[in-house]
Each structure stands twice: as C-alpha cells, then as structure tokens.
C-alpha cells in the first residue's frame, strides 16, 4: 500500500517540480510512483562507459520563454550557455536549419544584397494557398515547393509516419524561418543547459525527506493500493487512465542507436537532420552542448517508430477528436482532486520549459486550495 498527502504518477519534469514545490512550500508529504528505473523522464541523462554525459531519450535543448522558469530552476543547478546549432544534410551538403539567409543563398546559389532582395525573391517561390492549415501547406505558402521538398517533406514523413498534409501546421510551424543570419535552432533569448546535466538538477529538487519515490513501479499494477489524503497528480497517458474508454491515442516514439568513437569530435555541430530516405531523422553529438572535454565522443541516431514509450502526441484530426473526449473526463476528475499535467497527460507538444511553467501554474492553483 502507498499512502501520502499527495501522490504523483511519473517522475519526469512535471512530477519532480510539483513534488519539490509541494514538499518544500506546502510541507505536505509526496509519493512519486515511476515505472522506469530512474527519475527525470525523457530529460534523463547519464554518463556512459567512456565518461561521456549523454541524453538517453534524445537531446533536450533547454531554453526559456519565461525568465521565471529559469529563475526557479536556478535554485537547483548552475548553467552553461546553450549551443544549439543544427544543420540539415541535403544532397551531401550541410545547410543551416532553421532556414536562414545562408540556407537560401546556398540552396538557390544566389547572393542577396539585402533582406528586401531576399523577400522579393521568396515571393516568387511561395505557393499562394488561401488557408494553409496543414503541415505541408504551411511550408509551401512560406517557402515554395523546392525548399519544402528538400528540407521538410521526407523529414516530416519519417518523423511522424504520416504525410505532412495530414498533420497540423503547428508541427512544421515549430521551426522558425529566418531572413537573417541567426544560426541558433530556437528563438528564445535564454538558452541554457544545466551544467551537470538534467538528472542531477531534478535529483536536487527531490532532496527532501517528505518526498518518497517508488521506481520500477507501474501505477496500473498497484492502482487499487494507492491512496492520497489531499490530491493526486497524473502525468501519464490519458487514454490508459480511463481504460481506453474512447479508444487509443496514437503516439510517436523513437529508437536511439548510440555509438562511441575514439575521436574528439565528429560533427560540426550538435545535430544533423536528414530530410532524405534514410531510416533515421537525425544524428546528435551531444558533446557540442554538454561541452565535455574528452578524447571520445558519442553519436546517437534517431529512428522514429509507432511502438515503444510515448514521446510525441500526434497532432492530426483523428487524435485531436479522441483527446477532446478525454479532456472532458479530465476536467471532471478535478472534482476528485486528480490533476493531469505534462506532455503526455495533456497530449500536447510542449517543450521542457513549457511543462515546467505549467507545473508551476498548477502549483499556484493547488496552493490556494490546499494550504493548511
Ligand atoms: N522539421 C523538418 N525538417 C527539419 C526539422 C524539422 O521538416 O530539418 C519539421 C518536422 O515535421 C518536425 C517539426 O518540423 O517534426 C518540428 O521540429 P523540431 O525540431 O521542433 O522537433 P523536435 O525537436 O520536437 O523533435
């Protein structure tokens, strides 16, 4: 039997942040139930046999939309500046991605004297689409067919196992399109990595006697033996919670293949994207981001798949409809003091800083309701 003031299902970023706030600020006892053998969710990083810190579930390029989230996390870690530079491999050549002025010049073999010059040129490439509301039309209407086919089409098909026409415009819309020289992958001003890794940062959050963690524990195997005095936070898949009442939600997962090399460096930057017919979407040399000094390096290749742990909610019509039904149940279950939070539970393509911000917002709400 597990009994506590608060029960948290899942020890990912949301579970760790809420446990920390609830234990330290509300002084309530918390018990986290986690299926995996570690905390930190998909942010989990660890040191491999060559002493290299690597991101087991794919690179997490932490950045902050809201400085409050950065300030909050600064209680648990020191920082190193983010170094998030990505290149796309098109016909054996490296191009900056997100597309920037250098990408345009190299791709079209043309020099642009000014931004205006470039914008005028792109105007001739764009396809006029009245209401671009899928992932393909979004790009066609901004960049035209040549760039769409070179940089987006196959990458998106591989990543999602679906045609871009069937996916929300927000998916390809995540990637900025730039008419300047900015080479960084994301737009946010604050781009920082935890100096000693994500796992250490989240571990520090949980350093409180009021927080207990059961690892290697599947909530669904012990569900009827779990009790809370105050409330429960659930960060897993919503369809499973409700016994698939409205059917299964689809998820996209990834398989990572890691390989160590006795070389200081292999890639020119942390990530290469492959918008071609290879089976993998990207290769990552995380050392560029962790800035470790070593004679070894580790490269991971990412192979998208439909099976395995859920990583990405799928933003298409079918899953959108199913989730809406579960959302009604979720809103109702708040009455039982059960709260759904995070990328899985909300079935939304949030970034790490966004899920942490949402967890802090939820905490403020809980604080008002449950403060002794
Ligand atoms: N994308 C693409 N080509 C790229 C990079 C991204 O077509 O070189 C599209 C693809 O559909 C992808 C989406 O943009 O799923 C969002 O990319 P992002 O890098 O944000 O994905 P994440 O890092 O979350 O996997």
76 and 102 together in one domain = no
Residue 145: give the domain boundaries.
97-173
Q: Give the CATH number of the domain where residue 156 resides.
A: 1.10.3110
Q: Do the domain assignments include residue 255? A: no
60 and 8 together in one domain = yes
Q: Give the CATH number of the domain where residue 325 resides.
A: 3.40.50.720
pLDDT in tens, 60-99: 999 999 999 999 999 999 999 999 999 999 999 999 999 9
149 and 58 together in one domain = no
Residues of the chain with pLDDT under 50: none
Q: Do the domain assignments include residue 184? A: no
245 and 349 together in one domain = yes
Mutate to test the pocket of ligand 1, among 140, 149, 162, 175 (most ligand atoms within 8 A of CB): 175
pLDDT in tens, 254-281: 999 999 999 999 999 999 999 998 999 9
Q: Is the CB of 174 under 6 A from ligand 1?
A: yes
Q: Report pLDDT for 372.
A: 66
Q: Do the domain assignments include residue 137? A: yes
pLDDT in tens, 212-238: 999 999 999 999 999 999 999 999 999
Q: Is the CB of 171 under 6 A from ligand 1?
A: yes
227 and 317 together in one domain = yes
Q: Do the domain assignments include residue 330? A: yes
Q: Is the CB of 275 under 6 A from ligand 1?
A: yes
Please identify, among 140, 173, 206, the residue that sits at the C-terminal boundary of a domain.
173
Query: Ligand 1 center to residue 175 CA distance, Å?
Result: 6
74 and 108 together in one domain = no
27 and 163 together in one domain = no
Structural domain count of the chain: 2
Please identify, among 112, 138, 173, the residue that sits at the C-terminal boundary of a domain.
173
Q: Do the domain assignments include residue 307? A: no
Q: Do the domain assignments include residue 223? A: yes
204 and 77 together in one domain = yes
Q: Is the CB of 88 under 6 A from ligand 1?
A: yes
76 and 104 together in one domain = no
Please answer whether residues 362 and 339 qualify as being in contact, where contact means their C-beta atoms are separated by less than 8 angstroms.
yes
Q: Do the domain assignments include residue 209? A: yes
The whole-model pTM stands at 0.97
């Amino acid at each position: 039997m597990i009994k506590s003031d608060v029960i948290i299902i899942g020890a990912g970023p949301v579970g760790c942040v809420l446990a920390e706030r609830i234990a330290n600020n509300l002084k309530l006892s918390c018990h986290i139930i986690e299926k995996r053998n570690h905390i930190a969710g998909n942010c989990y990083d660890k040191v491999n046999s060559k002493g290299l810190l690597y991101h087991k579930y794919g690179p997490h390029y932490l950045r902050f939309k809201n400085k409050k989230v950065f300030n909050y996390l600064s209680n648990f870690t020191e920082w190193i500046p983010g170094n998030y530079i990505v290149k796309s491999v098109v016909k054996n050549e490296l191009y900056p991605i997100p597309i920037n002025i250098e990408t345009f010049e190299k791709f079209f073999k043309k020099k642009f004297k000014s931004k205006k010059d470039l914008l005028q040129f792109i105007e001739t490439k764009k396809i006029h689409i009245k209401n671009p509301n899928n992932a393909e039309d979004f790009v066609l209407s901004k960049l035209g067919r040549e760039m769409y086919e070179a940089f987006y089409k196959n990458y998106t098909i591989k990543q999602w196992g679906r045609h871009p026409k069937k996916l929300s415009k927000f998916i390809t819309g995540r990637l900025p399109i730039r008419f300047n020289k900015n080479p960084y992958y994301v737009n946010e001003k604050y781009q920082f990595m935890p100096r000693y890794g994500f796992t250490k940062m989240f571990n520090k959050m949980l350093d409180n006697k009021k927080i207990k963690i059961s690892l290697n524990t599947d909530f669904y195997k012990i569900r009827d033996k779990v009790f809370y005095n105050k409330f429960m936070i659930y960060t897993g898949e919503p369809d499973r919670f409700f016994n698939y009442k409205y059917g299964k939600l689809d998820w996209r997962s990834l398989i990572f293949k890691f390989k160590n090399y006795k070389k200081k460096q292999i890639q020119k930057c942390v990530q290469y994207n492959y918008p071609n017919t290879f089976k993998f979407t990207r290769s990552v040399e995380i050392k560029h981001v962790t800035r470790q000094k070593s004679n070894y390096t580790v490269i991971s290749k990412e192979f998208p798949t439909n099976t395995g742990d859920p990583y990405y909610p799928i933003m298409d019509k079918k899953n959108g409809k199913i989730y809406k039904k579960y959302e009604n149940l979720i809103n109702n279950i708040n009455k039982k003091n059960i709260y759904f939070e995070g990328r899985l539970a909300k079935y939304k393509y949030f970034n790490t800083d966004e899920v942490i911000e949402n967890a802090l917002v939820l905490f403020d709400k809980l604080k008002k309701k449950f403060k002794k």
